[in-house]
Every structure is written in structure tokens, then in C-alpha cells.
Structure 1
Amino acid sequence: MEKNSRKNNRRHGARYRARRRAVDILFEAEARDIDPVAIVEDRVELSRRPDQPVKPIADYTRTIVAGVAVELDRIDDVLDAVLADDWELHRIPAVDRAILRMSAWELLFNPDVPRPTAVVEGVELASEYADEEASSYINALLDDVAKKAEHFREEFQREDEEAEGSEEPESTPTEDATEEPAEAPAPETEVAVETPDTPENPENSEPQEPEESPQES
């Protein structure tokens, strides 16, 4: 990615250089269609080798790249929302898109950076990499994002809460369900009780004939 040929006499601090490196990586990742975090990891490894003239990656560069990678969908939705009706994010120059994504991440997801600083640094990067026209519309877009940042954050929070509420907790077996069922009590057996024989009812019994006595001869 070529920088603007215009001479820039402003002295930039470490944070600005970290932002510029992040923009370079985001631009390269989109051009190569790879994960920007993978590029950072590759650069970190190369910077440790003495035979490779690769500068170390600043911590803030890594923070920006990782943050943009995680929140890319939300960042792009915000940028689409503030773009004019006749503009589309995927149709603007790739370097402008990388700058906007980097600055939008700072405005929306990094409360440690003052909003005016994020806007000014983004516009400064645009003036370094693009023309005056690009700097002008990038300034307008970032200013709009800064004004609506709180609104967008509230939307993100609601989305997160709704997502958490829609997740059903995994059912865990209850204590009663894990216990083995108790054995059912054995049915009571009837115990036969012996009763003494009772004589037959004389009223119901048939009369017996008396035995004949022997006659005298």
C-alpha cells in the first residue's frame, strides 16, 4: 500500500505508528483474504529472527487488529449505517475501508481513546494514504460515528442480552433422578389361621337310627 507522496512534517507518536501498522495489516489481510490476526502472528515470528528485516509488532497494533477481527461485522454495519445512500462500504477504496474500520473500532470499542483523538488520527492517516477528497469524507463519517457511538453501544448491549437470554441452559439431572428407585414393598401374604373343628350343627344333621339291642331268647 503506497503512501501519499505529499510531504508530512508532523511528528507522530508511538500510538499513531501503531495505528498505521494496523491499517497496513488490515489492508493486506483483505487483499489476501486471510485472517489479519494470522498476519500479526507471522510478523511477530519473523521479527524474532535475525535474518529477517521485520520490525516488531507494537502491542497496540495487535490490540487493534484483534479487536477489528472480532467486531468486524458490527463495525461494518455501523459504517454502512452512516454512509450516504449512494455509497456502499465494499465499493470504496480498500485503504479507506481499512482506516475506517480501525478508527471505528476505537470509537465504539476502546473507551480508553478519546473520541476526538480517534477521529483526528483517522483523518491524519487518510491524508497520508489517500487524497484530500478521501480525507474529507472519512472525516465526516468518523465524526458521525463518534456522535452516535453511545447509541450503537446500547444496541450492541441489547443484542448481547437477547443472545444470552435465548440460550437455553443445559438440563442437568436432578438429585432425585440420579438416585436408584427404591424397591417396592413386598405384598403382604395372608397367613392361614388354623381354627379348631366345630361340630356340625345338630339341627342340620340327619337323625341317626338307634342301634338294635339284642333280644332275649
Structure 2
Amino acid sequence: MPESRRDQKDPGLPLPTREGAEVAFERTVPARADRLHSRTKERIRALDVLFEADARRAPVLEVLAERRRHTAAQTPLPARAQELVELYASRAEEVDEQLETYTRDWPLRRMPAVDRAILRLGAAEVLFVTEPGERGAVIGEYTKIAEALSTDDSPRFVNGLLQRLVDLQGLLG
């Protein structure tokens, strides 16, 4: 490859070995947090509490009480985030049982911790507080959160499992 052409295209990464192959390098930029909806930010703050409780193996409400007193973020924990954490905590056993029942060969303990927190909070919200007509939007929010915070496979997994819970609740309840 001529040196002048290489200097223009090469960001210092290995180029393909096939002769004549062109590679377009994309510059990735993290998503801007100011573009997130306030509801999404509140859900993420609630997820932080569930994630921390899981990581510390501490009761969720104990971690929530600590976050109310002293938060690691620059702003206090929003009231809606606190309500979501309390919702999960009040129904934790039922939510976890639902998730364990409808995940095929994938128990909660084997899931990535971030996915576990997303699914717990998402399941609590769609099963116990969201109106039937709004469930799709809430599932979409949790899917976008999984896309931003977890693995490449997580959004599809989160979406599928939350949708399965909603579908089965409609059949059973």
C-alpha cells in the first residue's frame, strides 16, 4: 500500500490482508447522557441501587437507605428511582420467581449482574405498575438501557424475557 494512502486511512489499527480491500473506520463516541429522557435516567439510578445491593449481597432497602443519606452521584436519588427500588423490594421474591420460571436454562445467578438488575426492575415495573397499553414502551426503555449498559446480546434477551412475562401474565391473569 502506498505510504501516502496509508497515512490518510490508517488510525494505527491492522489493515486487512486481502489485496485491495478497503476498510472504513468509524469513530465511536459514547452516547450523551443529556439526551436520555428523565424517566430513563431515573430507571438507571434505580438500577444502580439494585446492582450495588446485588454486588454487596446486601438487602436492597438497606442500600436504598444509604443512597438516601449519601449518594455517589452529584444529585440526590430521584423520588421515582426510590419508588422503583421499593417496588422491586416489596415484590422481590415474586419477581425473581417469575424470572427464574420463564428463563429457559438461564437462572438468575448465571446472568450478568447488570442484566439481572435490569430484568428485576423491568419485570417489577411491567408486571405491577404499568398499564397494559404502556408496557411496550416500558419494555423498550429497559431494552435501550440494556443496550447502553450491558453486552451485545443483552437487549434481545431483556426484551424477549420481559415480553414473555407480559404475554404470560395476559394469559394467566
Q: Which residue pairs with 1:7 in the alignment?
A: 30
1:101 aligns with 2:120: yes
Are residues 59 and 145 of structure 1, via their aligned partners in 2, closer, same or farther at CA, if it must alter by over 3 Å?
Answer: same
| TM-score scaled by length of structure 2 | 0.75
CA distance in structure 2 between the partners assigned to 1:111 and 1:126 by the alignment: 19
Structure with greater helix share of residues: 2
Q: Which residue pairs with 2:149 in the alignment?
A: 129
**RMSD (CA atoms):** 2.2
Residue 151 (structure 1) shift? 4.5
Are residues 53 and 128 of structure 1, via their aligned partners in 2, closer, same or farther at CA, if it must alter by over 3 Å?
Answer: closer
CA distance in structure 1 between the partners assigned to 2:73 and 2:40 by the alignment: 21
Are residues 78 and 149 of structure 1, via their aligned partners in 2, closer, same or farther at CA, if it must alter by over 3 Å?
Answer: same
Instruction: Check whether the contact 1:43–1:54 (CA below 8 A) recurs between aligned residues.
Output: no
Q: Which moved more, 1:116-125 or 1:37-46?
A: 37-46
* CA deviations over 1:82-103 (Å, ceiling 9, x no partner): 111x221211111100000010
CA distance in structure 2 between the partners assigned to 1:148 and 1:24 by the alignment: 28
Instruction: Check whether the contact 1:99–1:126 (CA below 8 A) recurs between aligned residues.
Output: yes
Residue 142 (structure 1) shift? 1.2
Instruction: Check whether the contact 1:43–1:57 (CA below 8 A) recurs between aligned residues.
Output: yes
Q: Which residue pairs with 1:60 in the alignment?
A: 80
Unmatched 5+ residue regions in structure 1?
155-217
* CA deviations over 1:74-123 (Å, ceiling 9, x no partner): 10111112111x22121111110000001001111113581012210111
For residue 90 of structure 2, the aligned residue among 70, 74, 81 is 70
- Structure 1 stretches of 4+ with a deviation exceeding 3 A read none
Larger radius of gyration: 1
1:91 counterpart letter in structure 2: R
Unmatched 5+ residue regions in structure 2?
1-27
| TM-score scaled by length of structure 1 | 0.60
Q: Which residue pairs with 2:110 in the alignment?
A: 91
For residue 137 of structure 2, the aligned residue among 117, 127, 139 is 117
CA distance in structure 2 between the partners assigned to 1:53 and 1:100 by the alignment: 23
1:103 counterpart letter in structure 2: G
CA distance in structure 1 between the partners assigned to 2:73 and 2:85 by the alignment: 21
Q: How many residues align?
A: 144
CA distance in structure 1 between the partners assigned to 2:73 and 2:41 by the alignment: 18
1:25 aligns with 2:44: no
Are residues 151 and 77 of structure 1, via their aligned partners in 2, closer, same or farther at CA, if it must alter by over 3 Å?
Answer: farther
1:82 aligns with 2:102: yes
